[in-house]
Structure 1
Amino acid sequence: MPPSADPTVSVTLAEIARIAGVGRAAVSNWRRRHDSFPAPVGGTDTSPQFALSQVEEWLRRQGKLDEVGSRERLWPEFEALGDRDAMGRAIAVAGARLARLTDKEAGPDDSAGWLPGGTDLSDAQRSLVERAVGLAKKHGARDTFDFLLGRWLDTHVRQINVTPSPLAALMAEVAELSRGGEAGDVGTVLDPACGTGGLLLAAARQWAGTADVPASGAPLRLLGQDVDATQAALAAVRLLLAGRSPERESAWGVDVRAGNTLRADPHPDVRADVVLCNPPFNERDWGYEELATDARWTYGLPPRTEPELAWTQHALSRLAPGGTAVLLLPPGVASRRAGRRVRAGLLRSGVLRAVVALPPGSAPPHSVALHLWVLRAPAEGGTDAGAGVLLVDAADVQQEPSGGTQRAGRAAIDWPLLHRRVVSAVQELRTIQTTQTGQAPQTAQTTPAAPAGNADGDRPADHAVVPVIDLLDEEVDLTPARHVPKKATSANLGLRRSWNRFGTLLHELRDLTATLSALELSGEEPAGQGTVTVGDLLRAGALTMRAGQQPADGVVRTGDAPDDAVRVLTVADVLAGGRSSGWLTAPDASAGENAGGLTLTAPGEVVVVGAHRAFGAWVETDAPTVLGSQLYALRADPALLDPWFLAGCLRAPANARQAGTHASTSSRIDVRRLQVLRLPLDEQRRYGEAFRRLTAFERSLREAGTIGGKLVDGLTDGIAAGRLPGNRP
């Protein structure tokens, strides 16, 4: 029998479901059906907490729990440690022990003495380490560590900056293309702000193959450092486990240290072939005063307000001659006035090779369109000015809406397309540098034709190789969008797509117009028809209504979302056009619903907005959706009410006027007072079909207006640029 859980550890209904391997609804049913189910020991009525030891004992008596250890049962005990660093340190030490399971039995705790920050643990932490090692014998060392690390990152997602794996892979490939050498030439990769090691892991996959493919030649050296000792320890273990297997000791060497990179670099003598880095943003206390005379500031003293330029020069100082660095930086670094002198120094020396504008959502902070800076250290014997600076504007590379709309909360980045565009632009720069024989730097105003079979959307991003002299003006602004004009071919392609979609919408509108205009509305209301309020329908059982609720702080996430993410819809989102800015993981959404703290819609339900300024009603076709406050989900009895008929009646402007409270400037709608026609079910369906067509007409009309505005703007730009046929000298 596995060790008993700590009696002080508590779990939620969602965690009980994961432990038992069932859905959240099943746990709620057990709680209602079995009087012997453990009583809550804390939490609230809507989100109760239960003692893990009591839950395990109950599940075991019911035959719903394996006697063999479970990772899901272990994680709540890690969470019970409370402190982020205490949890992370225990996971790191467990991982260091697990690394030895790939080739032999785990050794004593001092086998992890190489970890950054040491291995001093409390008794509770040591107990969890032992249990994790025991579980790994069933689940595997790497899988067990990855599980614990993933849960730790999810728990502290707002405190830890993680580079998404697609972006990390792109940065590694851009570094390889910018070097111009062979993959085997890379012997050392450094990340001076490595966090949990995502960029170094991408480097390992780029230059040493995956963990399942042995590296050829000398092992790659992965060097990292981070001011956060816990993250440094986790990175070290993560990289070590990823490179080990029973067949070999390691596919690459790992040396990750804890330390303040700018103030006291743990790797002062390293000269790496490649530096990959996602440095901390807007770090004001980076050591401006004490580092004013530092030898690393070859290209100018970084201003106090420009810590990113300090990281840029640090990366250059740690490169071997001809080495390449790729950094992820906020867009302001390219244009802020305070940093123009350093930017000019980087340009004059020829070390700045490219600036790539990424689309918003590529990495935290997700609301900002971050930049990639590509730098190359001078080769031995002098400067290497190259062919100019490649500026790539890929900020618009996002997933195309499907059917004119894009599901809110879903991943907005089309990573394969972004990868193709950026890589194609970097490859073109490499070609220019290779073939150039003394000519002046040239602007790349055209791009290679897409290979046969590629969609038009596979064309390279708009980019240009801009001569350094053109950038050395008063501002030294390196923002790609300021220097890369939209190409005529790109503009024409966009216009052609817009015209095609606009034509389709006009065709839909013509069909709907013919149908709707044929409806003859009578001049008088039919006698004896009457209405009934939503309140009356609720009391009669023809309807059920659930009010939306504000999710708990820290639960809603933004940016890239997995395919099974559940969007969160608020009144503000409705006012903004219906696109949600937040989402929940599927487990969090289900757990919140089962606990009574969230309202999730189901297909066919009618959603009503109770705020006067955003009043509306529609049939839910994109379920599930988490509803925020002032939104309501109405579920109709299909034997009594047609949902399209119900939604059409409820959304009538006259209904909102008579049901509004008008108590303040933020008037609300009393949903119970909204009125619905009294009609037989067959007649409701006839009315519902008319409402459905009216909704489609409204949607097409709005999209046509949006696309029409884009067409006007695009044509205005093209005509103003003198691109009308026959207008050439």
Structure 2
Amino acid sequence: MQTSGDPAPTVPTVSASEISRLAGVTRATVSNWRRRHDDFPAAVGGSENRPVFDLNEVREWLIGHGLDPARSPAAELRAVLRSRLTPADVARLLDELERADGRWTIGDHRDSDEPVDEVLRALDRCTAAEGMRVAIDILAERGLEEIAATGVYPTPEPVATLMAAVVAAAAPPIDVLDPACGGGSLLCAARAAGARELYGQDVLAVQVARARLVVTAETGVTPHLGVGDSLSADAFAGLEAAAVLCNPPYGQRDWGSAELAFDPRWEYGLPPRGESELAWVQHALAHLRPGGTAAVLLPPAVAARNAGRKIRANLVRAGTLRAVIGLPPGVAQPWHIGLHIWVLRKSDSGPVGDHLLFVDTDTEQPDTDWAALSDRVAEAWRTFLGATPRRAADAGLAAVARLIDVLDDTVDLTPARYVRTDLEPRAVSDRTAAAVTTLGESTTRLAAQVAALTGWRESPERSWRSVTVAELADRGRLDWIRAVHGGPVDAESAARPVLTAPDVASGAPPSATTATVAPAEATVLAAGDILVPAVRSDRGGGRAARVAGPQDAGAVRGPHIHLLRADPASLDPWFVAGFLGGGENQPMTRTATIRFDPSRLRIPILPLAEQHRYGALFRELFLTRVAAREAADAAERAAEQLTAGLTAGALEPDDTGDRR
């Protein structure tokens, strides 16, 4: 393998931030070492603001001072990758990488390539300490750094397992296709559910290489993989599989609606330009053999948008759509919404079912046992497939609706519309009263918070002198701990609550969750940490940064959260958090990609006393937003409870008089 660009340096180098991750300390600590220790290794390159150091000299220095630079092989692998290979180099490495005799190799027939050899050694160390999936994920992160992919999200293992269980409910699938396979999570789940032949395609070559390595290593099956856009360049045209699993890109506007207008896959209607998800649904159906099953993970808006009503109606009327399973927010990206799993079956010339299964798993209970809940969902689906579909109804979880009742003017397939909890009048009345009481309490808190939102005055127009997050990190004013992906969690971290990306915007405290982080990447939060979600976190598409409080201290930082630790002698945390999401930073925080890089966000240069004044007001503003969100959610829940009771006949208006 030949690397690109200028000749590689003779020694691997690391930045000051990468040294901090190697040593398990903050960026400010590394700056202090450089100032206080005359024997600290001198910079060998870079710039005055971003120096780089000889990795081997740094290791020797750390060991000589009683520090273990290898206690985080994952951090070391990241440092070596950044110093030795470009993202394009890593993409080629992934494509050639193989696992042989317990080691990583790219083949014996090549010239010695020092940068690649160094990476392979670091990759072996990371694999031995953290596992193969963590090591490959780190490689893929580097390989994807220069690729702008939007609307593409990984499929967490619990969700992938549920989707595979659904398609395997009737019989273990012999062959499975994932036309947007990403890193291979769904293919691994399909193999665990009994599949023997695995097919996958992805538009990103890095993801295809990643899937090849992950699936082969974890399942022992070599998958059949293709590179390209499945909608416009199907790598498996003509393939009919027993099952299709798919977590497609969301919100694509350029999926080829005009070029593919006469494509034979659109059996249920031409998908409108803004309904790319319904193109993926029909693509999945086109790859099923008669009697096959597909499970497609979709955003909830697909179930109700007016533009897709005709296609939804045709899917329901033909008996092709068999179930819609609503997931709770926080189990898959985008974290702030509850996704839906659409379960579809291709007709095998047998009788068409006249019922549709709806499942709503959003129990609003933070301590929900996801494994037990998944078992109930799978059991409801298996029961629905039996001779008496109506027996699949499960109070509070699953409902069975007649197709004729679904085919109204809107064909809204949102599960919550059909799943009814206990409709005994007393129970409904008690729940409604409790919801209204909660609404009253939340509006009281909101009113008090609004009253506290004071302390500003008119200011003459001023222009800011500012500095970027990267520059603050380079100067030791803050430590930037990058966001990580989910992965296996160690025993120590598993015992701690986890703060997820949705918790950052909502202000919710950490709790038990299905989101996990790999041992080497686990970061325990401290009060004062600045938390910046790597995923969009509000209705406007922005990222609502906040500061960790005492209730967050001791929790583990969940996936997709950047963490900034500010030097309190230089920076007020709430001042930083407030400016991260406003002003000239706003366009950058609204980017759709989950590989969000906060390094270019700018912070004004102000005296610490003035920062404190701004920070105090930003904190009150955040608390007001939290109180407003809680009141809005409480109003929605109260309205839902009362509406459901009135329309189901469990409640009726009393005799208190004319409300008009």
Instruction: Using structure 1 for the length normalisation, give the TM-score.
Output: 0.59
Equivalence for 1:470: 405
1:385 equivalent to 2:320? Answer: no
Post-superposition offset of 1:42: 5.1
C-alpha change, 1:709 and 1:301, in structure 2 (3 Å) is: closer
Post-superposition offset of 1:353: 0.6
2: CA distance between counterparts of 1:550 and 1:388? Answer: 61
Equivalence for 1:207: 194
Q: Select 2:202's aligned residue among 212, 217, 226.
A: 226
Report if the CA contact (8 A) 1:192-1:261 is conserved.
Answer: yes
1:188 equivalent to 2:175? Answer: yes
2: CA distance between counterparts of 1:284 and 1:466? Answer: 33
Report if the CA contact (8 A) 1:352-1:374 is conserved.
Answer: yes
C-alpha change, 1:132 and 1:564, in structure 2 (3 Å) is: farther
C-alpha change, 1:668 and 1:321, in structure 2 (3 Å) is: same
Secondary structure of the residue that 2:553 maps to in structure 1?
A: coil
Post-superposition offset of 1:16: 2.6
Deviation per CA, 1:200-242, whole angstroms, max 9, x where unpaired? 011112216xxxxxxxxxxx11111111111101101211112
1:492 equivalent to 2:468? Answer: no
1:291 equivalent to 2:268? Answer: no
1:260 equivalent to 2:247? Answer: no
Q: Percent identity?
A: 35
2: CA distance between counterparts of 1:707 and 1:229? Answer: 45
1: CA distance between counterparts of 2:631 and 2:250? Answer: 40
Post-superposition offset of 1:82: 6.7
1: CA distance between counterparts of 2:330 and 2:250? Answer: 16
- Per mean C-alpha deviation after superposition, the further-off stretch among 199-208 and 84-93 is 84-93
Aligned-partner residue type, residue 422 of structure 2: K
Equivalence for 2:293: 324
2: CA distance between counterparts of 1:387 and 1:14? Answer: 61
Deviation per CA, 1:475-514, whole angstroms, max 9, x where unpaired? 22212223333432699399579979x99xx9xxxxxxxx
Post-superposition offset of 1:670: 4.6
Equivalence for 2:383: 428
2: CA distance between counterparts of 1:282 and 1:162? Answer: 16
Deviation per CA, 1:655-686, whole angstroms, max 9, x where unpaired? xxxxxxxxxxxx9975999xxxxxxxxxxxxx
Contiguous gaps of at least 5 residues in structure 2: 1-7, 442-475, 531-546, 556-563, 576-609, 617-629, 655-660
Post-superposition offset of 1:163: 0.8
Secondary structure of the residue that 1:620 maps to in structure 2?
A: coil
Counterparts of residues 53-72 of structure 1 (less than 5 Å)? 53-59=56-62, 72=75
2: CA distance between counterparts of 1:465 and 1:550? Answer: 58
Equivalence for 1:282: 251
Deviation per CA, 1:604-663, whole angstroms, max 9, x where unpaired? xxxxxxxxxxxxx99935425878986579xxxxxxxxxxxxxxxxxxxxxxxxxxxxxx
Report if the CA contact (8 A) 1:132-1:144 is conserved.
Answer: no
Secondary structure of the residue that 1:234 maps to in structure 2?
A: helix
Aligned length: 525
2: CA distance between counterparts of 1:44 and 1:589? Answer: 31
Aligned-partner residue type, residue 418 of structure 2: H
Post-superposition offset of 1:367: 2.1
Equivalence for 2:4: none
C-alpha change, 1:85 and 1:164, in structure 2 (3 Å) is: farther
Post-superposition offset of 1:152: 3.9
Post-superposition offset of 1:428: 3.2
Bigger radius of gyration: 1
Counterparts of residues 657-696 of structure 1 (less than 5 Å)? 670=613
1:415 equivalent to 2:396? Answer: no
Secondary structure of the residue that 1:170 maps to in structure 2?
A: helix
Aligned-partner residue type, residue 402 of structure 2: P
Post-superposition offset of 1:278: 0.4
Equivalence for 2:101: 101
C-alpha change, 1:33 and 1:477, in structure 2 (3 Å) is: same
Post-superposition offset of 1:37: 0.7
Equivalence for 2:550: 620
Report if the CA contact (8 A) 2:22-2:72 is conserved.
Answer: no
Aligned-partner residue type, residue 107 of structure 2: P
Secondary structure of the residue that 1:207 maps to in structure 2?
A: coil
Post-superposition offset of 1:472: 2.1
2: CA distance between counterparts of 1:59 and 1:290? Answer: 59
Report if the CA contact (8 A) 1:135-1:144 is conserved.
Answer: no
Post-superposition offset of 1:712: 9.8
Post-superposition offset of 1:421: 4.0
Q: Select 1:479's aligned residue among 414, 425, 428.
A: 414
Q: Select 2:134's aligned residue among 131, 137, 147.
A: 147
Report if the CA contact (8 A) 2:525-2:548 is conserved.
Answer: no
Aligned-partner residue type, residue 108 of structure 1: G
Report if the CA contact (8 A) 2:324-2:342 is conserved.
Answer: yes
Equivalence for 2:312: 343
2: CA distance between counterparts of 1:627 and 1:22? Answer: 11
2: CA distance between counterparts of 1:589 and 1:134? Answer: 23
Report if the CA contact (8 A) 2:325-2:359 is conserved.
Answer: yes
C-alpha change, 1:165 and 1:298, in structure 2 (3 Å) is: same
1: CA distance between counterparts of 2:134 and 2:485? Answer: 22
Post-superposition offset of 1:140: 6.0
Report if the CA contact (8 A) 1:331-1:370 is conserved.
Answer: yes
Post-superposition offset of 1:276: 0.5
Secondary structure of the residue that 2:267 maps to in structure 1?
A: coil
Equivalence for 1:301: 270
Report if the CA contact (8 A) 2:74-2:520 is conserved.
Answer: no
Report if the CA contact (8 A) 1:567-1:580 is conserved.
Answer: yes
C-alpha change, 1:717 and 1:266, in structure 2 (3 Å) is: closer
Counterparts of residues 9-48 of structure 1 (less than 5 Å)? 10-13=13-16, 15-19=18-22, 30-31=33-34, 34-39=37-42
Post-superposition offset of 1:275: 0.7
Equivalence for 2:156: 164
C-alpha change, 1:268 and 1:26, in structure 2 (3 Å) is: same
C-alpha change, 1:142 and 1:76, in structure 2 (3 Å) is: closer
Deviation per CA, 1:590-611, whole angstroms, max 9, x where unpaired? 7999xxxx9449xxxxxxxxxx
Aligned-partner residue type, residue 138 of structure 2: R
1:90 equivalent to 2:93? Answer: yes
Counterparts of residues 574-613 of structure 1 (less than 5 Å)? 599-600=528-529
2: CA distance between counterparts of 1:301 and 1:368? Answer: 27
Aligned-partner residue type, residue 173 of structure 1: A
1: CA distance between counterparts of 2:548 and 2:122? Answer: 49
Equivalence for 1:642: none
Secondary structure of the residue that 1:298 maps to in structure 2?
A: coil
Post-superposition offset of 1:141: 7.5
2: CA distance between counterparts of 1:566 and 1:225? Answer: 33
Deviation per CA, 1:561-584, whole angstroms, max 9, x where unpaired? 9757568999x96xx766699x99
1: CA distance between counterparts of 2:119 and 2:425? Answer: 55
1: CA distance between counterparts of 2:485 and 2:182? Answer: 21
Equivalence for 1:269: 238
Deviation per CA, 1:309-337, whole angstroms, max 9, x where unpaired? 11111111111221110000112221222
2: CA distance between counterparts of 1:341 and 1:423? Answer: 29
CA RMSD in angstroms, aligned pairs only: 5.4
Equivalence for 2:362: 395
Aligned-partner residue type, residue 332 of structure 2: A
Q: Select 2:325's aligned residue among 356, 360, 364.
A: 356
Deviation per CA, 1:256-301, whole angstroms, max 9, x where unpaired? 1112211121111221111100011111221222222222122222
Post-superposition offset of 1:559: 10
Q: Select 1:79's aligned residue among 69, 77, 82.
A: 82
1:241 equivalent to 2:217? Answer: yes
C-alpha change, 1:497 and 1:14, in structure 2 (3 Å) is: farther
C-alpha change, 1:34 and 1:417, in structure 2 (3 Å) is: same
